[in-house]
Amino acid sequence: MKKTLLAAALLAGFAGAASAQSSVTLYGIVDGGLRYTSVSLSNGDGASNFGLGYGQQSGNRFGLKGVEDLGGGNKATFMLESGFDIGNGTALQGSRLFGRQAWMGVESNSWGYVRLGRQLNFATEYVGIPVDPFGTGFGQLNMGAAFGVANTDRISNTLKYQTPNMSGFQAGVGYSFATGNTGLYTADAGGGTSGTGYNFASSNNTRQLTLGAKYANGPFYAAASYDKIYSEAGLTQGRSASISSWNLAGSYDFKVVKIAAGYGQTRDGAVLGQGGGGAGATLAGNPVGTGDLIFAPAVGTNSYIVGATIPVNPVSRVLLSWTMLTPNTNMKDIYNAQNQTAYNLAYTYDFTKRTNLYAFVGTMQNVGTVDTAKSTTVGLGMRHQF
């Protein structure tokens, strides 16, 4: 009898140890509220709408994260993350099942990680999310309105490597064999897409190289990124076309205020970013963009941001930023492009660690460098994380 009890106890112990080394976590965000949007031109064209707004501070999502101990300090990992519109229950990111992220990998504290699948580029991971006071959320208020390549740029069929943390320094490199993002080639005024599939002939796909480096030491943070995007042959009729974009940004936390600043350049086209998320049927379309690529030889922009996060008390913060997107001489001459400027303000209040209230207002002049195009948005809502 005692041996039976001992054996049962040992088996239970082994089972507990095994389960402790492997886990799967369900997580997500639900975010909704009200929003007013006004878009106008100096000639009187425009629209203003008021209604429900979804995924305003953070895109609505649910996902699964998993990890298994492989021994020797190595782990097998995966993430499957789906974006959805809580207004009507439909999937976002082109109706993909796991459109936000879908990857698997192996990692270790000693050598870093290798991942493959649909992932974020390093401009988003290293520059956009950590530096932007709005965390690449709040629609047109985030820095992605000026730094398109850092605005939650998701690229499919990507192989990524990141180094381990070396006294605060990390770096990474990734390559997408087929990004799955749509594209426009202005030289022919035509359009095309690499699709969601994967063709093994490289020229049949829109490809992307992404590089990044970051350093964090106490209140100081700095990061750099570089992305090179190559068009598919069918889009450019066999001619060579690519977009290059690099960014430098950083922040310093003085406790009473956290200051952020950044600068970047994009040449031979534009990355329009992910837009404002699900807006609801009653709201005006987001003028900033929907994740497309524009291949435009000899066209370029410079990007700027200055921002601040001000803690009011332990449960509330004020977010501020100014961004600017300046076109080069070719854009001014050909398209009469003008400087895009934006002023942004938000307030968040934490009811708990998982649930917060937010309010925001932002105004943007010369949206998308279009002369006199103006966009103003005001909203409030609640976000719950689980």
Domains of the chain: 41-51+111-385 (2.40.160.10)
Between these two residues, 359 and 277, which has the higher pLDDT value?
359
Average pLDDT of the chain to the nearest whole number? 88
Tell me if residue 229 falls in helix, strand or coil.
strand
Cα angle 43, 338, 209 (rounded to 5 degrees) comes to: 130
Please check the confidence at residue 367 and state whether its pLDDT lies above 80. yes
The backbone torsions φ and ψ at residue 317, rounded to the nearest 5 degrees and listed phi first, read -145, 150
Distance CA 241, CA 293 (A): 12
Please check the confidence at residue 111 and state whether its pLDDT lies above 50. yes
Please check the confidence at residue 251 and state whether its pLDDT lies above 70. yes
Please check the confidence at residue 195 and state whether its pLDDT lies above 70. no
Report the pLDDT value the prediction gives residue 284, as an integer from 0 to 100. Answer: 34
Report the pLDDT value the prediction gives residue 269, as an integer from 0 to 100. Answer: 93
Q: How confident is the model at residue 21 (pLDDT cuts 50, 70, 90)?
A: confident
- Is 174:138 a contact under the CB 8 Å cutoff? no
Please check the confidence at residue 119 and state whether its pLDDT lies above 50. yes
Strands 169-176 and 101-108, sheet pairing: unpaired
Please check the confidence at residue 38 and state whether its pLDDT lies above 60. yes
Please check the confidence at residue 341 and state whether its pLDDT lies above 60. yes
Q: How confident is the model at residue 11 (pLDDT cuts 50, 70, 90)?
A: very low
Cα angle 202, 93, 381 (rounded to 5 degrees) comes to: 150
Question: Can you state the percent helix, strand and coil of the chain, rounding each to 5?
Answer: 15, 55, 30
The structure tokens listed for 154 are 């998701």
Strand partners, 260: 251, 307
Least confident of 144-153, 197-206, 325-334: 197-206
Report the pLDDT value the prediction gives residue 94, as an integer from 0 to 100. Answer: 87
DSSP 19: H
> Read out DSSP for 131-185?
H-TTTT-SGGGSGGGT-GGGS--EEEEEEEEEPPPBTTEEEEEEEES----EEEE
Q: How confident is the model at residue 6 (pLDDT cuts 50, 70, 90)?
A: very low
Please check the confidence at residue 16 and state whether its pLDDT lies above 70. no
Mean pLDDT (whole number) for 372-383: 97
Distance CA 345, CA 209 (A): 34
Count the neighbouring beta carbons within 10 Å of the beta carbon of residue 352. Answer: 9
Please check the confidence at residue 17 and state whether its pLDDT lies above 90. no
Q: How confident is the model at residue 71 (pLDDT cuts 50, 70, 90)?
A: very high
Report the pLDDT value the prediction gives residue 351, as an integer from 0 to 100. Answer: 98
Please check the confidence at residue 194 and state whether its pLDDT lies above 60. no
The reported pTM is 0.88
Report the pLDDT value the prediction gives residue 188, as an integer from 0 to 100. Answer: 54
Mean pLDDT (whole number) for 122-127: 98
The backbone torsions φ and ψ at residue 18, rounded to the nearest 5 degrees and listed phi first, read -65, -45
Count the neighbouring beta carbons within 10 Å of the beta carbon of residue 17. Answer: 9
Please check the confidence at residue 196 and state whether its pLDDT lies above 60. no
Report the pLDDT value the prediction gives residue 183, as an integer from 0 to 100. Answer: 85
Report the pLDDT value the prediction gives residue 201, as an integer from 0 to 100. Answer: 67
Q: Which of 225, 245, 250, 379 is nearest to 325 (CA)?
A: 245
151-368-93-308 Cα dihedral, nearest 10 degrees: 30
| 90 CA to centre of own chain | 20
Q: pLDDT tens across 265-316, in order?
A: 999 999 986 744 333 323 233 333 344 888 988 889 999 999 999 999 999 9
Q: pLDDT tens across 213-239, in order?
A: 999 999 999 999 999 999 988 787 777
Distance CA 328, CA 343 (A): 22
DSSP 235: H
> Read out DSSP for 46-111?
EEEEEEEEESSSS--EEEEEEEEEEETTEEEEEEEEEEB-TTT--B-TTT-TT-SEEEEEEEETTT
DSSP 284: P
Count the neighbouring beta carbons within 10 Å of the beta carbon of residue 167. Answer: 7
Q: pLDDT tens across 144-187, in order?
A: 999 999 999 999 999 999 999 999 999 999 999 999 998 888 87
